[in-house]
């Protein structure tokens, strides 16, 4: 990962006005549905796993509704849907561990095959890097799945810190991941911004007292992101760039 000097203290607070500061010292991003559209290949891997076990497959739309709590919880939701078992029963079933292992195999094979960076991501990351902004990913996806996704899209060296769903003892909406980034880079909440796509990201940011901008193109269980009352709804990464004052 790049190690750059922390940006000076003259940055505008990202939470000013309507999340208006154009020069946060630290910008944190969610991964799935924010930087990368991952649902198609996650659905493929889920259905590879279900079909192999002799169960009916699920739709990509269903998978999109389950994204957000981490891949383990997503698989439990899919197995519950396919088998008719309650999620709590699936979680306790001794068959879950081998199925999780099979899913891991299938997802490793599918990773990068049908996911894509949202348009404008690279330009925003590069513009922020040139400005000296610290960059982090804070995701609920497990480390073993995060690294291949980042690598598949050329993002493996793009961030100063990557906090995955299993990096700490808790995950979003617990603010620990965001707070750990603030500590690592010596940033106050007023110097930081979280860019995400869901109510989970909004709740995380609120608990950390950090400004949050939400993109509508991701996975928010089918609900409008405006309902989460973020500091800003940003239509796409061109809008993110404009709000950050990037060229």
The DSSP 8-state label assigned to residue 227 in this structure reads: G
Tell me which of 30, 160, 201, 231 is the catalytic residue.
30
Is the torsion defined by CA of 202, 203, 205, 209 positive or negative? Answer: positive
- Structure-derived torsion over alpha carbons of residues 65, 160, 212, 23, reported in degrees to the nearest 10: -150
Contact status, residue 192 vs residue 42, Cβ threshold 8 Å: no
Tell me how far apart the alpha carbons of residues 34 and 45 are, in angstroms, rounded to a whole number: 20
The per-residue DSSP string of 176-204 comes to HHHHHHHHHHT--GGGEEEEESSHHHHHH
Tell me how far apart the alpha carbons of residues 225 and 88 are, in angstroms, rounded to a whole number: 28
In the annotation, is 32 catalytic?
no
Q: What is the number of helices (H) and of strands (E) in the chain?
A: 11, 8
Tell me how far apart the alpha carbons of residues 132 and 115 are, in angstroms, rounded to a whole number: 28
Helix (H) or strand (E) holding 168: none
The per-residue DSSP string of 100-152 comes to HHHHHHHHHHHTTTS-EEPTTHHHHHHHHHHHT-EEEEE-SS-HHHHHHHHHH
> Would you name the residues annotated as active-site residues?
30
């Amino acid at each position: 990962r790049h190690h750059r000097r922390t940006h000076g203290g003259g940055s505008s607070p990202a939470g000013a006005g309507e999340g208006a500061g154009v020069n946060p010292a630290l910008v944190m991003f969610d991964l799935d549905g924010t930087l990368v559209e991952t649902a198609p290949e996650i659905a493929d891997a889920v259905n590879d796993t279900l079909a192999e076990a002799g169960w009916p497959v699920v739709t990509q739309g269903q998978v999109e509704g389950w994204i957000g709590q981490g891949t383990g919880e997503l698989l439990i939701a899919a197995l519950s849907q396919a088998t008719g078992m309650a999620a709590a029963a699936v979680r306790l079933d001794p068959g879950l561990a081998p199925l999780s292992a099979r899913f891991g195999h299938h997802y490793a094979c599918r990773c990068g095959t049908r996911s894509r960076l949202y348009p404008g991501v690279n330009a925003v990351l590069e513009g922020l890097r040139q400005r000296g902004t610290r960059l982090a990913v804070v995701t609920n996806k497990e480390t073993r799945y995060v690294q291949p996704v980042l690598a598949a899209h050329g993002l493996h060296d793009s961030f100063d810190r990557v906090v995955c769903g299993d990096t700490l003892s808790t995950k979003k909406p617990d603010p620990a991941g965001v707070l750990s980034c603030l500590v690592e880079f010596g940033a106050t909440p007023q110097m930081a911004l979280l860019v995400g796509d869901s109510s989970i990201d909004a709740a995380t940011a609120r608990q950390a007292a950090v400004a949050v901008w939400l993109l509508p193109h991701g996975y928010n269980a089918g609900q409008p992101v405006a309902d989460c009352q973020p500091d800003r709804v940003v239509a796409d990464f061109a809008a993110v760039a404009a709000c950050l004052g990037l060229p």
